[in-house]
Amino acid sequence: MGSSKIVHAIYNDDDVLLSAVKMVKDEKFHIEEIYTPFPVHGLDKAMGLEPTRIAIASFIYGCIGFTVAILMMNYIMIEDWPMDIGGKPSFSYIENMPAFVPIMFELTVFFAAHLMVITFYLRSRMWPFKNAENPDKRTTDDHFLMEIDPSNKLKDLEKILIESGAVEINIVEKESH
């Protein structure tokens, strides 16, 4: 498609932004992305984004951590170098299991937490030395930026945006990627 026009509407209040999102969506315009300095409660629902699946990922990571803990303790304390735990030298995993519960718990939490954070960063396409994606530096301070595809109805869109309380409207040429 080459280059196309894209509209940047800037707001300075999260409540105004939320109502603007509703107005723009009611007029059937497509919101590409919204950049905010802090998480805005209810914005994902207003934009109609799908609910996050990170909780499912986190549960799976927890299960992996739980399994790793069991296999690891079985190898270390039972198979490789059998240990007499609490004066009960049974050398069976299940009979010594209470001693391993704290480790099972810790590794479950460790895996769930760390892998979830890493997943979140990768999924948000954030990794070291990456250039910031936000088009306007003020979105890291006190402004909110809504990126909208005008789809050949630029005049209508501008009217709606002014009505919705935008403090600034910029039309930029964007290379499609």
From 9-17, 63-71, 96-104, 130-138, give the range in contact with other proteins by CB under 8 A. Answer: 96-104
- Maximum Cα interatomic distance, the chain, rounded to a whole number of Å: 82
Distance CA 100, CA 76 (A): 11
Q: How far is CA 63 from CA 56, 108, 121, 162, in A?
A: 11, 7, 21, 50
From 6-14, 98-106, 111-119, 128-136, give the range in contact with other proteins by CB under 8 A. Answer: 98-106
Place of tokens 């050949």: 152
Q: What angle do CA 13, 164, 16 make, to 5 degrees?
A: 20
Binding letters toward other proteins, positions 55-74, x by CB under 8 A: x---x---------------
Considering the complex, what minimum distance in angstroms separates the CB of residue 164 from other proteins?
23
From 2-10, 30-38, 93-101, 148-156, give the range in contact with other proteins by CB under 8 A. Answer: 93-101
Question: What is the full DSSP assignment across 114-139?
Answer: HHHHHHHHHHTT--TTPPP--S-GGG
**Site membership for other proteins, residue 98 (CB under 8 A):** yes
Q: How many residues bind other proteins (CB under 8 A)?
A: 8
Q: Of 55 and 71, which has the nearer Cβ to other proteins?
A: 55
Q: Point out which residues bind other proteins (CB under 8 A).
A: 55, 59, 86-88, 98-99, 101
